[in-house]
C-alpha cells in the first residue's frame, strides 16, 4: 500500500485540487437528478416510470459523443480544439442547470398524457454535456502526468457524492404516516400524509448550478494557469528525466534503465506508462505495455457490461426495487449508492488494481449482487424478506455501487497504460445507452415491473 509521503511526492496539490473540481462537472447534473428522484416522483405526472424516461433521455444525448467522435476522426489531431469544446460544454451545462432550476415543474399535454416537458428538455441538454465528457475529459486529463488521473476520477466520483450529501440534508419527508385530514365538505378521514423536504427541488438544482460554475473555473485554471500547464506531460517528462538521472547510480546506461522499467521483478519507485512518465505509486503492480494492450478488448467489454447496468439499466428500475419498503429506503439507496462511488475512487488511489484477473472477479461479484436487486424490482410491489428486505436492499445497492466504481477506475487505469482512454469513453457510452434502452422497453412496454400508488407503499 502506498504511504502518504509517497502520495505527496513529486506532485502539485493545487493541480490535484483543480483536477478534482474539474472532474465533478463530468456527471454532477445527472447524478444530482437521480438522488433527487425520491422527491420528483411525488410531484411529476410520470410517477414511478419517471426514472426509465430520464435514463432514455440521458442516452439519447449520446449524439454528443458520437458527433465529437466523427469530428475527431475527420479533423487532423493537431487542429482539434479540445479545450474550446470543453469550455463550451461547461458553459452550456451551467446555463442548462439554471433552466432546470427555473422550469422543472412545467408540464404539457403530449399524445393525450401530461408530460414533464421542460424537465426533459433541460435534462437532455445536461446529458449532452455529461455524455460528451466521457470522450473528452479523460483524454484531456491524459495530457497531464499520470498521477493526476486518479484525482480527476475522484472528482468524477464526487459528482455523485456531493449531490448525495445535499439530498441527505434536504430529506425526503420520510414514509407516509396516517393522519386525520379534514376534507372540503367538513368530514374527517384517516389518510396517508408525507412531510415536505427541508428545501425545494429548485433550491437543489440551483446548488448543482453553483457546482458547475466551480468546475468551469477549475478547468480555466487547468488550461491557462502556468503552474498547471507545467504539469502537462511535455514538462513532466523533463522533470522525470532529471529525477531518473539523479537516482540512477546503479545503472550503467539509459538502456539499462529502460529494461528495469519494464521488468516486473524490479522496483524503480513507479510503473511504466504510455506517457513516458514515472508514477510514484508503490502499490501498483507493473504490467508490461504489450500485456495490457492484448487485454484491452476484454477490459472494454467488461466496462461496457458494467456501464450497461450501472449507468443504464439499474437507475431505471431503482424506484421499483426500493419503494415497496417506503420512501426512506428509496432515499437511502439513492444517496448512499451515489456516495459509494467517490469513496471507492479515493480508495483506489492508495490500493490500485493492476490485475485483469482481479477485475474479472470483482465484476462477476457485482453481477451476482445485481441479480438480487433485479429480483427485488421484479417482485415489486410485494417486498422480499419482509421487514428485513429494506435493509438488505440498501446494502445490496451500496455494495453494487462500490464494486462498479472500483472496477471502472481499475479499467480506466489499465486502459490509460495501453493508451486507450478514448476507447474507454466510447465503451462507457455504448454500454450505458444499451442498458437504458433495454430498461425503458422492459419498464414501459411490458408488465414485468408493476406500479402502485406511492401512498400505498409499505411504510
- List pLDDT tens digits, range 90-112: 999 999 999 999 999 999 988 78
- C-alpha cell, 345: 475512487
Mean pLDDT value of segment 304-315? 86
CA-to-CA distance for 440 and 94, rounded, in angstroms? 28
pLDDT score at 80:
63
pLDDT at 19 over 50: yes
- C-alpha cell, 197: 423536504
pLDDT score at 8:
64
pLDDT at 177 over 60: no
Comparing 283 with 153, the larger pLDDT belongs to: 153
Which residue, chain included where needed, has cell 524503480? 268
pLDDT score at 284:
40
pLDDT band, residue 397 (cuts 50/70/90)? very high
pLDDT score at 102:
93
pLDDT score at 162:
87
Alpha carbon dihedral 78, 82, 83, 88, in 10-degree steps, equals: 140
Mean pLDDT value of segment 360-381? 90
Residue 243 lies in a domain: no
Which residues span the domain enclosing 380? 4-233+257-456
pLDDT score at 264:
35
pLDDT score at 245:
38
Mean pLDDT value of segment 181-209? 72
Q: Which of 22-31, 142-151, 244-253, 353-362 has the lowest mean pLDDT?
A: 244-253
Return the CATH number at 341: 1.20.1250
pLDDT score at 442:
85
pLDDT at 271 over 80: no
CA-to-CA distance for 313 and 307, rounded, in angstroms? 9
State which of 20-29, 138-147, 287-296 shows the largest mean pLDDT.
20-29
pLDDT score at 17:
92
Comparing 86 with 12, the larger pLDDT belongs to: 86
pLDDT at 70 over 60: yes
pLDDT band, residue 9 (cuts 50/70/90)? low
Closest CA to 135 of 426, 427, 435: 426
Residue 28 lies in a domain: yes
pLDDT score at 372:
92
pLDDT score at 399:
92
Residue 242 lies in a domain: no
Residue 265 lies in a domain: yes
For every residue of 19-66, DSSP letters joined together read HHHHHHTTTHHHHHHHHTHHHHTTTSTTGGGHHHHHHHHHHHTTHHHH
Residue 407 lies in a domain: yes
CA-to-CA distance for 200 and 190, rounded, in angstroms? 27
pLDDT score at 79:
62
pLDDT at 82 over 60: yes
% of the chain with per-residue pLDDT over 70: 76
Closest CA to 308 of 224, 431, 128: 431
pLDDT at 184 over 50: yes
> pLDDT per residue over 201-254, tens digit each?
899 999 999 999 999 999 999 999 998 888 887 543 434 433 443 443 344 434
Residue 248 lies in a domain: no
Residue 411 lies in a domain: yes
Residue 252 lies in a domain: no
pLDDT score at 189:
59
Mean pLDDT value of segment 149-170? 82
CA-to-CA distance for 158 and 214, rounded, in angstroms? 13
Which residue, chain included where needed, has cell 468546475? 215
pLDDT, averaged across the chain: 76
CA-to-CA distance for 276 and 301, rounded, in angstroms? 27
CA-to-CA distance for 201 and 39, rounded, in angstroms? 7
pLDDT at 139 over 80: yes
pLDDT at 255 over 80: no
- C-alpha cell, 243: 529525477
pLDDT score at 265:
36
Q: Which of 29-43, 47-61, 162-176, 223-237 has the lowest mean pLDDT?
A: 162-176
Q: Domains in the chain: how many in total?
A: 1
- C-alpha cell, 321: 426495487
Comparing 188 with 216, the larger pLDDT belongs to: 216
Amino acid at each position: 500500500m502506498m504511504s502518504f509521503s509517497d502520495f505527496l511526492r513529486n506532485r502539485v496539490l493545487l493541480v490535484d485540487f483543480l483536477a478534482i473540481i474539474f472532474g465533478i462537472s463530468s456527471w454532477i447534473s445527472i447524478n444530482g437528478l437521480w438522488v433527487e428522484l425520491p422527491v420528483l416522483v411525488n410531484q411529476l405526472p410520470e410517477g414511478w416510470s419517471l426514472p426509465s424516461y430520464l435514463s432514455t433521455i440521458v442516452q439519447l444525448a449520446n449524439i454528443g459523443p458520437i458527433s465529437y467522435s466523427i469530428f475527431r476522426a475527420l479533423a487532423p489531431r493537431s487542429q482539434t480544439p479540445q479545450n474550446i469544446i470543453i469550455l463550451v460544454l461547461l458553459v452550456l451545462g451551467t446555463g442548462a442547470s439554471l433552466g432546470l432550476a427555473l422550469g422543472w415543474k412545467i408540464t404539457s399535454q403530449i399524445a393525450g398524457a401530461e408530460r414533464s416537458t421542460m424537465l426533459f428538455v433541460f435534462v437532455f441538454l445536461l446529458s449532452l454535456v455529461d455524455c460528451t465528457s466521457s470522450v473528452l475529459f479523460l483524454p484531456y486529463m491524459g495530457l497531464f502526468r499520470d498521477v493526476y488521473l486518479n484525482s480527476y476520477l475522484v472528482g468524477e466520483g464526487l459528482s455523485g457524492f456531493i449531490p448525495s450529501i445535499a439530498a441527505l440534508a434536504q430529506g425526503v419527508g420520510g414514509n407516509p404516516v396516517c393522519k386525520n385530514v379534514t376534507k372540503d365538505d367538513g368530514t374527517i378521514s384517516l389518510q396517508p400524509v408525507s412531510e415536505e423536504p427541508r428545501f425545494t427541488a429548485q433550491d437543489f438544482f440551483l446548488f448543482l448550478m453553483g457546482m458547475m460554475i466551480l468546475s468551469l473555473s477549475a478547468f480555466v485554471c487547468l488550461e491557462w494557469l502556468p503552474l498547471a500547464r507545467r504539469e502537462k506531460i511535455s514538462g513532466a517528462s523533463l522533470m522525470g528525466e532529471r529525477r531518473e538521472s539523479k537516482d540512477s547510480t546503479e545503472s550503467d546506461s539509459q538502456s539499462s534503465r529502460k529494461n528495469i522499467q519494464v521488468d516486473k521483478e524490479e522496483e524503480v519507485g513507479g510503473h511504466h506508462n504510455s506517457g513516458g512518465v514515472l508514477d510514484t505509486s508503490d502499490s501498483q503492480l507493473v504490467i508490461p505495455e504489450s500485456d495490457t494492450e492484448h487485454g484491452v478488448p476484454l477490459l472494454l467489454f467488461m466496462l461496457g457490461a458494467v456501464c450497461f447496468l450501472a449507468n443504464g439499466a439499474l437507475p431505471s428500475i431503482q424506484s421499483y426495487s426500493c419503494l415497496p419498503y417506503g420512501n426512506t429506503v428509496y432515499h437511502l439507496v439513492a444517496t448512499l449508492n451515489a456516495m459509494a462511488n467517490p469513496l471507492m475512487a479515493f480508495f483506489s488511489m492508495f490500493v490500485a488494481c493492476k490485475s485483469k484477473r482481479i477485475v474479472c472477479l470483482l465484476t462477476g461479484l457485482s453481477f451476482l449482487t445485481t441479480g438480487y436487486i433485479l429480483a427485488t424490482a421484479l417482485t415489486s410491489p410485494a417486498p422480499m424478506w419482509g421487514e428485513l428486505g429494506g435493509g438488505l436492499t440498501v446494502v445490496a445497492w451500496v455494495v453494487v455501487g462500490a464494486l462498479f466504481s472500483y472496477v471502472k477506475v481499475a479499467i480506466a487505469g489499465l486502459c490509460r497504460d495501453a493508451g486507450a482512454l478514448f476507447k474507454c469513453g466510447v465503451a462507457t457510452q455504448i454500454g450505458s445507452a444499451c442498458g437504458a434502452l433495454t430498461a425503458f422497453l422492459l419498464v414501459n412496454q411490458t408488465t414485468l415491473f408493476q406500479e402502485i400508488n406511492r401512498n400505498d407503499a409499505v411504510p
